[in-house]
């Protein structure tokens, strides 16, 4: 069974940085595209970033130039490097397979002074 475990969230000041990690088990990680989503209180879950099996990436307009998605297939891990964080980035961040509706538990990111 596929499992995804997110980590790396926390409380940071505006302008700060965090790196989120998602460790995947129970499937062939290297053969699947991976996504990051986020959900803020009172809002629907929204797409943040995607990385394909060959390393191509897509980003939501709101995070372009600030966030970078990457993957390490030897560690079955997908990362989200978040720089110049803004209060509106505050949300629970989730990873998932692009083509499977299986979600991790999420990791909380709070950006506030």
The model's pLDDT over 27-77, given as tens digits with 9 standing for 90+, comes to 788 899 999 999 999 999 999 999 999 999 999 999 999 999 999 999 999
Measure the CA–CA gap between 40 and 47, rounded to whole angstroms: 12
Provide DSSP, 11-32. Answer: EE-TT--EEEEEEEESS-GGGS
Task: With a cut of 90, say whether residue 6 has pLDDT above it.
Answer: yes
């Amino acid at each position: 069974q596929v499992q995804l475990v997110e980590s790396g969230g926390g409380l940071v000041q505006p302008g700060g940085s965090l790196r989120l990690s998602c460790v995947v088990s129970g499937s062939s990680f290297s053969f699947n595209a991976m996504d990051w989503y986020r959900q803020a209180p009172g809002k629907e879950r929204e797409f943040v970033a995607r990385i394909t099996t060959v390393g191509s990436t897509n980003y939501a307009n709101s995070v372009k130039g600030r966030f970078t998605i990457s993957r390490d297939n030897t560690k079955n891990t997908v990362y989200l490097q978040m720089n110049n964080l803004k209060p509106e980035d505050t949300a629970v961040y989730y990873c998932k397979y692009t083509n499977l509706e299986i979600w991790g538990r999420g990791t909380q990111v709070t950006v506030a002074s």
